[in-house]
């Protein structure tokens, strides 16, 4: 019988030899309570201490190990109270290396002439040779202590095995060698007082304990491991914590990463299967007059990608099972049109559509777009002359005035409102639909699973609405498979024709900035327009778009600095750099009618420059605009800058994007700006974003199972993601309830939580 991981989750670290009260408490603070926790408390790095030199080969400042014999050990006092131990080492060639230990008086008891040791450290120059100060030291062999006489300063010592002996509290009893091997470095907790090497010792104890009576179970058979090119689980746990080489460590990491990905894939696929099994969807009829008229009335031809995407969606809509589909497409690829056509399928069948977006401003922008593209469309109404009434679209956000709000709510319940565009406000209990047929969620990554589910529950008569979620941030396909593995995927892989690449420059310093404003004036003289984007509406206020500051972990400088505001900047530019030009303002605190008036003026060419917040990020489409200037660009995330840049380059004229940043941005901010300069490809940028922000933030809180992704990297392990997905699919096809794979089922429970696993497996 082999031991399963679940069993290891039942053994507390307290039970491990060497786990004292202090260590147990400290580990607890690190979230490590069981032997399983300890086994999966992976090193955050590995230090390679295998490089060795002879003494004469030492190079100043270059970290290395030296294998040598102790010549002498002396305790010294240098003025005042500061004492140190001086050890002289000699190698087989006879060269000498003086080594000094400060604050380690016990070294006199540990070491004796003739002992064989390895020291690891950074040599410094000393009297024509080299020396080391406080190096790591391992005793390799102990010289025979002729007499057991104790305590004579300088030479005596209690013998013993490597590193053992002595009663000093700071020396753990059983310590692994720190030199001549690859040493794991653990995230330690200095506050609660547990250090990396103590964790390493306890991990070794945990591994011994895990395997003391029986081997560790491996849910992958030897044959399957061979096919997948993976090492055994037991090997992997050993080698991740104590690799003999870099390739052993990588093989271990891949195996454990595979396990993480595979558990996640099983959970995702089960979730999806459960959703399909329990779904009572609406059989829409995707072909119909309303959608046809909409498409025919558009001011452009659909791109092949849009047509293909719509066909996939139509296929889903016509099935009796509710759609769960992700529409992924780069900025400006035209997702809005696809969303509207999808909503219209619901409407033409007598149902309603809802479009949910994460912010007020986006909701208003989408409403504008919808109004613009849907004008003139009518829905069947037998009570009307001509058998039709105009299609009704309305906005619902937390800022909608009370009277308007009650009108919207009652019309939704009555079925006289066809499409509602809104924020989280749509999720409140008062909002009931007469018959919600299709729900679209834009900028999906900003919503949680629960919110998406809440929207789906707005269906009536037990019918589940079809769901389309859209992401404006393209993420690499493997990441999508992982984060959105429970959704079908449609990719809009091309932009509408006529888009020119936008020249992008990171501008810092007043001279370069003057050049920017000169360019803006020249464009205005030629009848072209400019956006100037600022993070704030008024000085000192919060940025208005409510997105969490990206890469904010290390931007103290940015926080301390005053950010530009629309109100001040419009004033400053209008009477300074851009004097004589027609400068307008747009931000989220303006009333809708004001916003509409300003946008109309800008679109109509009555304004040369629009100073705006990120309200223009989505939905704003003015082909004659050729320049976008982003103030405090270092304050914005990659995805947002990419969106903002997407506002220009739409009219077939060369366009520019200027990223203005205060001198000396943080290193991550600098890398973001450089990434924007280097590429216009959304997928490339998404990768850069993943690298810079860390995968955890990109995954967000979407998946419960995500906490299990410790070693897997969505960027490095694309092949494993694919393999894991295939394996999960094959196993579940053959055994949907995992009855014949109890080990899989048990692990799923362990990592996604019992309740969730029970729910997933019941069906």
Positions that interact with ligand ADP (CB under 6 A)? 300-303, 306, 329, 331-337, 472, 496, 619, 621
Binder of residue 480, out of ligand ADP, Mg ion, none (CB less than 5 to 8 A by kind)? none
Considering beta carbons, is residue 204 or 306 the nearer one to ligand ADP?
306
Considering beta carbons, is residue 24 or 419 the nearer one to ligand ADP?
419
Shortest distance, position 314 Cβ to ligand ADP, whole Å: 17
User: HEC profile for 76-96?
Assistant: EECCCCCEEEEEEEECCCCCE
Shortest distance, position 446 Cβ to Mg ion, whole Å: 12
Whole-number Cα distances in Å, 92 to 32, 60, 628, 729: 45, 21, 70, 61
- How many helices and strands, by DSSP H and E, does the chain display? 26, 25
Considering beta carbons, is residue 302 or 321 the nearer one to ligand ADP?
302
Considering beta carbons, is residue 374 or 750 the nearer one to Mg ion?
374
Which helix (H) or strand (E) segment holds residue 130: the answer is: strand 129-133
Binder of residue 102, out of Mg ion, ligand ADP, none (CB less than 5 to 8 A by kind)? none
**Closest to 27 measured CA to CA, from 176, 205, 253, 216:** 205
Binder of residue 332, out of ligand ADP, Mg ion, none (CB less than 5 to 8 A by kind)? ligand ADP
Whole-number Cα distances in Å, 382 to 175, 374, 379: 85, 21, 10
Considering beta carbons, is residue 204 or 333 the nearer one to ligand ADP?
333
Q: Taking a C-beta distance cutoff of 8 angstroms, is the pair 433, 458 a contact?
A: yes
Q: Taking a C-beta distance cutoff of 8 angstroms, is the pair 598, 590 a contact?
A: yes
**Listing from the earlier edge strand, what are the strands of the sheet with 655-660?**
502-507, 655-660, 625-630, 529-533, 609-612, 583-586
Considering beta carbons, is residue 66 or 370 the nearer one to ligand ADP?
370
- Name the maximum alpha-carbon separation found in the chain: 116
Shortest distance, position 251 Cβ to Mg ion, whole Å: 43
Considering beta carbons, is residue 43 or 332 the nearer one to ligand ADP?
332
Binder of residue 333, out of ligand ADP, Mg ion, none (CB less than 5 to 8 A by kind)? ligand ADP
**Closest to 456 measured CA to CA, from 431, 474, 434, 438:** 438
Considering beta carbons, is residue 281 or 619 the nearer one to ligand ADP?
619
Shortest distance, position 300 Cβ to ligand ADP, whole Å: 3
Q: Which residues contact 397 (CB under 8 A, 6 or more apart)?
A: 360, 363, 364, 422, 423, 425
Considering beta carbons, is residue 332 or 574 the nearer one to ligand ADP?
332
Interior/surface letters 175-204, b for 16+ CB within 10 angstroms, e for the rest: bbbbbbbbbbebebbeeeebebbbbbbbbb
Binder of residue 485, out of Mg ion, ligand ADP, none (CB less than 5 to 8 A by kind)? none
Q: Alpha-carbon distance 456 to 452, whole Å?
A: 6
Q: Alpha-carbon distance 374 to 378, whole Å?
A: 9
Considering beta carbons, is residue 331 or 738 the nearer one to ligand ADP?
331
Binder of residue 625, out of ligand ADP, Mg ion, none (CB less than 5 to 8 A by kind)? none
Half-sphere exposure of 299 (CA within 13 A, CB side): 8
DSSP-derived 3-state class of residue 536 = strand
Shortest distance, position 722 Cβ to ligand ADP, whole Å: 27
Half-sphere exposure of 28 (CA within 13 A, CB side): 9
Binder of residue 621, out of Mg ion, ligand ADP, none (CB less than 5 to 8 A by kind)? ligand ADP
Shortest distance, position 472 Cβ to Mg ion, whole Å: 5
Size of interface with Mg ion, in residues (CB under 5 A): 2
Where does 596-693 show beta strands of DSSP type E? 609-612, 625-630, 655-660
Q: Is 146 exposed, middle or buried (0-12, 13-18, 19+ CB in 10 A)?
A: exposed
Shortest distance, position 679 Cβ to Mg ion, whole Å: 20
Considering beta carbons, is residue 524 or 625 the nearer one to ligand ADP?
625
Considering beta carbons, is residue 332 or 422 the nearer one to ligand ADP?
332
**Closest to 720 measured CA to CA, from 229, 235, 236:** 229
Length of the chain, please?
A: 763
Considering beta carbons, is residue 218 or 330 the nearer one to Mg ion?
330
Give, as ranges, the residues between 417 and 476 that touch Mg ion (CB under 5 A).
Answer: 472
Shortest distance, position 175 Cβ to ligand ADP, whole Å: 58
Shortest distance, position 26 Cβ to ligand ADP, whole Å: 49
CA dihedral 296, 302, 306, 307 (to 10 degrees): 60
Considering beta carbons, is residue 329 or 574 the nearer one to ligand ADP?
329
Shortest distance, position 577 Cβ to Mg ion, whole Å: 32
The sign of the dihedral angle between the CA atoms of 137, 138, 144, 148 is positive
In whole angstroms, how large is the CA radius of gyration of the chain?
33
Binder of residue 329, out of Mg ion, ligand ADP, none (CB less than 5 to 8 A by kind)? ligand ADP
Considering beta carbons, is residue 261 or 370 the nearer one to ligand ADP?
370
- Contact pattern for Mg ion over residues 572 through 611, marking x by CB under 5 A: ----------------------------------------
Shortest distance, position 366 Cβ to Mg ion, whole Å: 8
Half-sphere exposure of 212 (CA within 13 A, CB side): 12
Shortest distance, position 599 Cβ to Mg ion, whole Å: 16
Q: Which residues contact 241 (CB under 8 A, 6 or more apart)?
A: 42, 43, 184, 200, 203, 204, 207
Shortest distance, position 458 Cβ to ligand ADP, whole Å: 23
Binder of residue 459, out of ligand ADP, Mg ion, none (CB less than 5 to 8 A by kind)? none
Binder of residue 303, out of Mg ion, ligand ADP, none (CB less than 5 to 8 A by kind)? ligand ADP
Q: Alpha-carbon distance 202 to 401, whole Å?
A: 61
Q: Alpha-carbon distance 247 to 236, whole Å?
A: 12
Binder of residue 230, out of Mg ion, ligand ADP, none (CB less than 5 to 8 A by kind)? none
What is the pairing mode between strands 436-441 and 466-471? parallel
Listed ranges 228-236, 581-589, 618-626, 657-665: which one lies at the site for Mg ion (CB under 5 A): 618-626
Q: Is 171 exposed, middle or buried (0-12, 13-18, 19+ CB in 10 A)?
A: middle
Shortest distance, position 647 Cβ to ligand ADP, whole Å: 9
What are the start-end ranges of the H helices in 30-88?
Answer: 35-39
- Contact pattern for Mg ion over residues 95 through 124, marking x by CB under 5 A: ------------------------------
Considering beta carbons, is residue 261 or 618 the nearer one to Mg ion?
618
Shortest distance, position 718 Cβ to ligand ADP, whole Å: 25
- Contact pattern for Mg ion over residues 466 through 495, marking x by CB under 5 A: ------x-----------------------
Binder of residue 158, out of ligand ADP, Mg ion, none (CB less than 5 to 8 A by kind)? none
Q: Alpha-carbon distance 177 to 137, whole Å?
A: 8
Binder of residue 90, out of ligand ADP, Mg ion, none (CB less than 5 to 8 A by kind)? none
Considering beta carbons, is residue 157 or 637 the nearer one to ligand ADP?
637
> Beta-carbon neighbour count of residue 580 at 10 Å?
10
Shortest distance, position 412 Cβ to Mg ion, whole Å: 24
Q: Alpha-carbon distance 608 to 582, whole Å?
A: 5
Shortest distance, position 421 Cβ to ligand ADP, whole Å: 14
Residues that bind Mg ion (CB under 5 A): 472, 618
């Amino acid at each position: 019988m082999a031991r399963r991981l679940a069993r290891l989750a039942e053994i507390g670290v307290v039970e491990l030899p060497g786990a004292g009260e202090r260590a147990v408490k400290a580990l607890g603070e690190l979230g490590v309570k069981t032997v399983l926790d300890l086994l999966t408390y992976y090193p955050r790095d590995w230090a390679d201490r295998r490089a060795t030199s002879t003494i004469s080969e030492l190079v100043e400042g270059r970290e290395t190990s030296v294998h040598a014999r102790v010549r002498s050990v002396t305790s010294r006092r240098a003025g005042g109270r500061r004492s140190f131990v001086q050890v002289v080492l000699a190698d087989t060639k006879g060269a000498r290396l003086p080594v000094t230990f400060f604050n380690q008086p016990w070294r006199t008891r540990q070491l004796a002439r003739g002992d064989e040791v390895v020291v690891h450290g950074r040599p410094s120059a000393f009297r024509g040779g080299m020396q080391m100060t406080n190096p790591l030291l391992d005793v390799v062999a102990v010289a025979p202590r002729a007499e057991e006489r104790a305590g004579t300063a300088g030479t005596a010592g209690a013998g013993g095995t490597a590193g053992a002996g002595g009663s000093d509290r700071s020396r753990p009893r059983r310590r692994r060698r720190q030199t001549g091997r690859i040493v794991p470095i653990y995230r330690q907790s200095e506050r609660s007082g547990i250090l990396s090497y103590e964790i390493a010792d306890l991990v070794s104890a945990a591994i011994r304990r895990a395997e003391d009576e029986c081997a560790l179970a491996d849910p992958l058979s030897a044959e399957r491991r061979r096919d997948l090119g993976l090492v055994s689980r037991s090997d992997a746990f050993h080698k991740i914590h104590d690799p003999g080489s870099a390739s052993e460590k990588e093989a271990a990491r891949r195996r454990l990463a595979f396990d993480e990905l595979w558990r996640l894939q099983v959970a995702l696929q089960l979730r999806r299967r459960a959703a399909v099994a329990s779904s009572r969807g609406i059989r829409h009829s995707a072909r119909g007059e309303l959608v046809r008229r909409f498409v025919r009335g558009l001011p452009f031809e659909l791109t092949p990608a849009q047509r293909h995407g719509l066909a996939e969606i139509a296929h889903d809509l016509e099935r009796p099972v509710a759609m769960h589909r992700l529409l992924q497409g780069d900025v400006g690829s035209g997702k809005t049109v696809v969303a509207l056509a999808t909503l219209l399928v619901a409407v033409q069948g007598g149902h309603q559509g809802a479009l949910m977006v994460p912010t007020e401003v986006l909701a208003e922008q989408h409403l504008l777009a919808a109004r613009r593209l849907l004008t003139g469309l009518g829905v069947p109404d037998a009570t009307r002359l001509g058998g039709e009434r105009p299609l009704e679209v309305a906005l619902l956000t937390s800022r909608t005035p009370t009277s308007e709000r009650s009108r919207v709510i009652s019309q939704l319940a009555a079925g006289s409102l066809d499409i509602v565009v809104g924020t989280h406000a749509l999720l409140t209990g008062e909002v009931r639909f007469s018959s919600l047929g299709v729900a679209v969620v834009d900028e999906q990554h900003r919503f949680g699973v629960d919110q998406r589910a809440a929207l789906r529950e707005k269906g009536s008569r037990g019918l589940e609405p079809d769901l389309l979620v859209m992401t404006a941030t393209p993420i690499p396909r493997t990441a999508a498979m992982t984060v959105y593995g429970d959704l079908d995927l449609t990719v809009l892989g091309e932009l509408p024709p006529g888009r020119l690449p936008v020249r992008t420059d990171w501008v810092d310093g007043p001279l370069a900035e003057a050049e920017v404003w000169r360019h803006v004036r020249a464009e205005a003289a030629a009848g072209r327009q400019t956006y100037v984007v600022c993070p704030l509406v008024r000085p000192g206020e919060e940025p208005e778009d409510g997105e969490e500051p990206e890469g904010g972990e290390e931007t103290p400088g940015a926080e301390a600095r005053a950010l530009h505001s629309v109100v001040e900047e419009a004033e400053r530019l209008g009477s300074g750099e851009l004097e004589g030009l027609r400068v307008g303002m747009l931000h989220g605190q303006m009333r809708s009618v004001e916003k509409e008036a300003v946008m109309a003026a800008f679109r109509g060419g009555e304004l040369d420059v629009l100073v705006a917040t990120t309200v223009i990020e989505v939905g704003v489409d003015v082909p004659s605009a050729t320049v976008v200037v982003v103030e405090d660009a270092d304050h914005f995330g990659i995805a947002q800058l990419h969106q903002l840049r997407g506002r220009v380059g739409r009219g077939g004229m060369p366009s520019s994007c200027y990223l203005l940043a205060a001198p000396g941005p943080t290193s991550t901010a600098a890398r973001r700006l450089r990434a924007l300069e280097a590429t216009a490809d959304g997928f490339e940028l998404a990768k850069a974003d993943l690298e810079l922000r860390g995968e955890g933030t990109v995954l967000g809180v979407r998946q419960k199972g995500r906490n299990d992704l410790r070693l897997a990297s969505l960027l490095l392990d694309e092949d494993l993601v694919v393999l894991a997905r295939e394996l999960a699919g094959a196993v579940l096809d053959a055994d949907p309830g995992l009855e014949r794979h109890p080990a899989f089922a048990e692990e799923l429970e362990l990592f996604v939580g019992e309740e969730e696993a029970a729910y997933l497996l019941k069906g």
